[in-house]
Structure 1
Amino acid sequence: MTSPAHDPAWVRGTMTAVAVTSPKSVETVEIPIPGPLAGHALVRVSYAGLCGTDLELLHGTASYVLDGRTRYPHVVGHEWSGTVVTAPGTGLAAGQRVVGQTMVPCGGCAHCRGGRRGLCPHMREVGLYGLQGAAAQYVRVPASSLVPVPDTVDARSAALVEPAVTVVEAFRRAGCLPTDRVAVVGTGTIGLLAVQLAAHLAQHVDAVGVDAPALELATGLGARRGLLPGQADPSAYSLVVEASGASAGFARALELVEPGGRVAAVGVTHEPVPQVDAARITLDGISVLGIRHGLDHYDETLGLFARGVLRAAPLIHAELPAAEARQAFRTLETGRGARPKILLSFDAADAADAADAREAEEAHVR
């Protein structure tokens, strides 16, 4: 058996990558391709998605930067899809289309052994801390963190599996039932994915947000109504998914949930929420569930995309090549409109196929 160090299929040399080089500075850079490592695969990246966490890395406000886990220059990219180049001794075949799990737990601690891998205290996360991001031509990752992509799921949909697994975890933890009346607070990527899954699982779903075009998009994705904050009835929902990550959104979620209902907090609120009525949580028997991630739901989530329960194309605002990384971040911050997702493309062939697929999907949404 050829050792990883002598694997002739492992690409050597340099590659293009997108890195935050210092606070408020993002560059397209040339860096070494990661070398062979036992138990790891080299993957040719197709797409890397950008989200609000990447903006926090850019501005230096991410917790990973503040506590020293991440240092600049830092290659971003924790939402991604690609194709295996080589993975010696792992059982993965060259040419296998894959999506990468962001969280890479240690596998040996009490949390990992007890079935709670997402809480591993020795966690590393691709593109966030501990592991190079996938906004690059190639990424080296543990083979155990790769999940095969079905033929019926295109590469850019696969790049949205990472945020979608958290939505799946939210509905699983909340025990969503067909009789539930669901409100989704927030109309970003997480919120719009939550609307789609709620429309599949529950009696009905309303989207609550501050952006009228995004609310209109939500209705096209299965929401019964798109409501501005003042239009949503208090105590009217048995399950509320807080996906905005805003202090006001968290407070609103607690207002909207009925006595005995559940709030699944998916958005990460970085500011205090002074409006919280703690007495109501207790006296009305409200369950508040913190949803960190959905590490164990990648296969299930790929199945949801394969069956059309979840659709990526309506969420994608733009696909830009790595050379236009600065423009991608500017658009992410200021110019997305209703569609929240920006993808960086590292594969011209995939990009051409995606353009055709997107045109067909947009016709379907209309």
Structure 2
Amino acid sequence: MAIMQESSLTANRAFVLHPGGKFTYEQRAVPDLETDRDVIVRIVATGLCGSDVHYWQHGRIGQYIVEKPIILGHESSGVVVKCGENVTNLAVGDRVMLEPGFACNICHYCRGGRYNLCESMRFAATPPYDGTLAKYYRAPSECCYKLPSHISLRDGSMIEPLSVAVHSCRLAGSLQESSVAVFGAGPVGLLCSAVARAFGASTVVAIDVVDSRLASALKHGATHAYKMDTESPESNAKGLLSSVGLKYGFDVVLDATGAEPCLSCGIHALTRGGTFIQVGLGNPNPSLPVGQICDKEAVFKGSFRYGPGDFKMAIDLLNSRRVKLDGLVTHEFSFEQAEDAFKNVVGRAGIKSVIYGPDVDENEANKLN
């Protein structure tokens, strides 16, 4: 196989989670090109996701169990260092964002245009597949997207969660002149607010319990912010609607928390015939006010990762400046400080924590193209 590549690829240092929650640094083999459409990416920045932390603290998410050492991380950007001979869309030196799930492309779901539901999906940092917290990572070229020139590699790591937000908002249908409630003002919730506004929503309310995150939401698309209290979901729903003057309820509710009180409040705050999109996952078996869903003839949809066109749409939103990532990355860690980054996320400090890859200069991660 003919290839284009850097002169040499050095040892592949990786940050590894072991069953039981212990982290170690290991030298892993430099990945090979498996097909002539593959590329090797030198990882520059990786954003930490709640799923990474959950695997560390609990050892599993549903049916996916950490039974052997695994490299975490899936929100990554980097630089192409090696290309297969049939790669035509990328070249060595390109700055890219990774779509970290590789579907089979031949099953019923893939051929039907819903590859995110592929049962053979190989998703980074989902057992048994290694993630991106290493120096090098192999990916199909179609899963690598060139970064806009005004987006740094650091902020480029946010395009993966931005694509999650794009997917969930697209599931809601047309948002033009609609009223939207977004529960949760963490990274995905903030991006859902930004995307909903970019898609034409006239009212976007961010709901959270942390004042600093609500303040951030007002800078990223939200037209209003509402702080949940300890009252009942019904009481919170009344207060939420009153705070923005909505008589009949929200056209669309996006829940990025997975918390039962938020789900219940959101359903109570939904208008008749409205659409509820479940974006975040908490308790996999929450108690829901099903009577409200039926009485309102509401549409309740689950949202799973992202599908065809979502990454491209995310990048288009950045190129048009309809969505901005400024200020979302609040904490930066060197590769040697990776465990500190995990602890920082647990402490809910800031918004987004990013870990730089091995031997990465912070200036490289922050500079523009």
TM-score, normalised by the number of residues in structure 2: 0.87
Alignment match, 1:361 = none
Query: Aligned-pair distance for 1:242?
Result: 0.5
Q: Does 1:295 align with 2:307?
A: yes
Alignment match, 1:205 = 204
Q: What CA deviation, in whole Å up to 9, does each residue of 1:277-305 have, x standing for no partner?
A: 21221221111111102232111101212
Residues 206 and 224, structure 1, Cα contact 8 Å, conserved in 2: yes
Q: Does 1:305 align with 2:309?
A: no
Query: Aligned-pair distance for 1:132?
Result: 2.4
Bigger shift: residues 189-198 or 263-272: 263-272
- Which residue among 273, 285, 290 is the counterpart of 1:278? 290
Query: Aligned-pair distance for 1:160?
Result: 0.9
In structure 2, C-alpha distance between the alignment counterparts of 1:232 and 1:61, rounded to whole Å: 36
In structure 1, C-alpha distance between the alignment counterparts of 2:322 and 2:362, rounded to whole Å: 23
Residues 83 and 95, structure 1, Cα contact 8 Å, conserved in 2: yes
CA 1:28–1:313 in 2, change beyond 3 Å: closer, same or farther? farther
Q: How many residues align?
A: 349
Q: Does 1:268 align with 2:281?
A: yes
Residue segments in structure 2 that go unaligned for 5+ positions in a row: 229-235, 243-247
SS of the residue corresponding to residue 314 of structure 1 reads: coil
Q: How does 1:66-85 map to 2 (within 5 A)?
A: 66-68=63-65, 70-85=66-81
- Which residue among 11, 16, 38 is the counterpart of 2:13? 16
Query: Aligned-pair distance for 1:8?
Result: 6.4
Q: Which amino acid aligns with 1:225?
A: H
SS of the residue corresponding to residue 263 of structure 1 reads: strand
Output the aligned Cα RMSD: 2.2
CA 1:11–1:272 in 2, change beyond 3 Å: closer, same or farther? same
In structure 2, C-alpha distance between the alignment counterparts of 1:12 and 1:20, rounded to whole Å: 24
Alignment match, 1:340 = 351
In structure 1, C-alpha distance between the alignment counterparts of 2:106 and 2:256, rounded to whole Å: 32
Q: What CA deviation, in whole Å up to 9, does each residue of 1:65-117 have, x standing for no partner?
A: x544x433111111011111011212231112211112211011111111111
Q: Which amino acid aligns with 1:206?
A: V
Alignment match, 2:181 = 183
Q: What CA deviation, in whole Å up to 9, does each residue of 1:6-37 have, x standing for no partner?
A: x7647445222222123222233332222332
In structure 1, C-alpha distance between the alignment counterparts of 2:182 and 2:344, rounded to whole Å: 25
**Higher helix fraction (1 or 2):** 1
Residue segments in structure 1 that go unaligned for 5+ positions in a row: 358-366
- Percent identity for Structure 1 against Structure 2: 24
Q: Which amino acid aligns with 1:226?
A: A
Query: Aligned-pair distance for 1:155?
Result: 1.2
Residues 99 and 148, structure 1, Cα contact 8 Å, conserved in 2: yes
Query: Aligned-pair distance for 1:270?
Result: 2.3
TM-score, normalised by the number of residues in structure 1: 0.88
SS of the residue corresponding to residue 98 of structure 1 reads: strand
Q: Which amino acid aligns with 2:26?
A: V
